[in-house]
A and B are shown apart, each in its own frame.
Chain A
């Protein structure tokens, strides 16, 4: 049941109505209902994996309770280790078993030894990369005594399975979201309207921008060997907007939906393509994942305060892990490594925290220097995205080789070029709106709010019109595969 489907259009109002009608009853009943609705939502993907998420939830709930009672350091470490083993082990099995197996076999083959091991075609449970990290953050924070373990199981189950962010994030922290399940929620008109506005923007990003860019990105990447350099660059740009709008669109919908139910989720994207350097990009891209790795891997390893060699090691570890988190493919690992290479010079020069404010804050246009910086940063991320999208490392290398030729000065020669021009205009429109709204939570949060209702509503109707008219071939949300 994806967000931009008719099934969800039926599911949401039903759940919304029942949820708020239960608000007058006890908080417990309300939490029980949202947990039930979330498990139902998840079961629509594959009912068998409901037991998996339930198992993960029960383990971490029990570990949390035990951690509260345990005073012995060894026992506490053992409990934390158990939680990490179960979560990472489950994730590792479902996501990486076949990858490690095939690489194991290939390694033997490389040395001239043939071994036969049957692979299992394992189905990847939707959302496993997200909810395992979310529950892990709970047990780690309880271990660190940053939060008290929750006593009741139902709010915890609701926290883990909360349907708006269950299958593709944001990866919430227990410190932020769990207390919201423990506190009474009142219906707020302003919060709900804000939520609807963010859902609208998220749907626009997904349906108009991401799904349309996907058509041409796929065409170009699938036929890259016969295309000229300019087509290949355009393919990379299409993919850059596909993945950004797909993923951030999902996050916007998730955050907007949460607002409808009285919850505030963390921001997951903060206009990353307006970043002036790679460090800023990583402060603005998939914030929930990058801060997770920062807080639970990078800082425990010592961060950047443990000598130069270890700092470099730590940077590579988190970027490689981040790449690997996306999937069992060396292209993702290489994407992570490339980003680490981009990041290191800034860190070593002490310049990774120089662009902390919003670009051109208070100004309509960026300065020439900022424009140049934004362009360079975007170019570097484009290069990395090629590895992310390519089928293999060879494919990525050939793709980049195709760009590095004089054919970049020709007109793009892929078949759909003419049809892609309206999509480019849509992307341009999107970039302009994002630029105008870059100082807000999301682009259209305060757009035309100070004006009368008519221009504002006209803009919303325009977005809906674009969705109905320019909706691309329906594509799965990219991050479902992770």
Chain B
């Protein structure tokens, strides 16, 4: 049996060497053509917020990450959203800001129906070291190990190098936190959304709202402009139920909702895919959102 283990070890050494090499080289190579890696994208806003505070912070998933340009808001704002963030990540990001930066006066929080249906774990390798222990406890040590191992195994996916041969524009992340990923939408784009509402995410949303109330932070829930083909994932009943659900929070002071999901002036050419606004549309949207926020604040 010792011979057996020796042979496995010798056989697997090149595989480990390959994985280690990929984990160092691939992010650097891919960044040249595909823009900053996920780890880099996540690191930048944390570093920025440690150095300076902001009056307004944008939190949410990829729709706000790409769709809100803080430079077009008339506030000192920063975009702290990220792909696949849901309310547990948003809650801990706010906690991070309160502890390591300046508590903002206003929060823009992306509010999508599908956002309650998942517990994202793929970025735990980047989030867990930066959030407090409560975040990691939700997942448990084995899940964190899986996330880390999955991240390193993912580096060995050489298909990512195909981006080097693509003539598409390179994505980039602005200093204000917004991420720009160019693309062209198609009529046939589709997505299947899950309308489940996990108690886990609702509880985090409740905690988030409670913290904002105690810290006197005004919340602007924002449902980003949504294409009809994405809205088709939901039934009328699900949309009504969602409206009622969010409506509960609006009864609290300091909570507002801008629902651009069904009524918005954006067309197919304003999207990069089924769900994300492109750079120019994001600018226009941000100006529109800013005007609506100003109107609400002036009326208060």
Contact = CB atoms under 8 A, between A and B. Distances in A.
Contacts, number: 39
B145 A20 contact: no
A222 B8 CA distance: 43
30 contacts: A6-B145, A6-B146, A6-B149, A6-B150, A187-B4, A189-B1, A189-B3, A189-B4, A192-B4, A193-B4, A193-B7, A196-B8, A223-B190, A226-B188, A415-B188, A457-B11, A460-B11, A461-B14, A461-B15, A465-B18, A468-B18, A468-B19, A468-B157, A468-B158, A469-B156, A469-B157, A469-B158, A469-B159, A470-B159, A471-B157
The 7 closest A-B pairs by CB, nearest first: A468-B156, A469-B158, A6-B149, A6-B146, A187-B1, A189-B4, A192-B4
Interface string B154-172: 0011110000000000000
Contacts of B14: 461
Interface in B137-187: 142, 145-146, 149-150, 153, 156-159
Contacts of A5: 146
A226 B158 CA distance: 32
Contacts of A223: 190
Interface string B257-298: 000000000000000000000000000000000000000000
A114 interface: no
Interface of A: 5-7, 20, 187, 189, 192-193, 196, 222-223, 226, 415, 457, 460-461, 464-465, 468-471
Interface residues of B, number: 23
A461 B10 CA distance: 12
B147 to A, nearest CB: 9
Nearest to A23: B1
Main SS at interface, chain B: helix
Interface in B175-232: 188, 190, 192
A44 to B, nearest CB: 10
B146 A7 contact: yes
A285 to B, nearest CB: 31
Contacts of B192: 222
Nearest to A222: B192
Nearest to B3: A189
A2 B145 CA distance: 16
A468 B153 contact: yes
A1 B120 CA distance: 19
Contacts of B153: 468
A229 to B, nearest CB: 18
Contacts of A196: 8
Given A7-B146, A470-B159, 15 more contacts: A6-B149, A6-B150, A187-B4, A189-B3, A189-B4, A192-B4, A193-B7, A222-B192, A415-B188, A460-B11, A461-B14, A464-B15, A468-B18, A468-B153, A469-B157
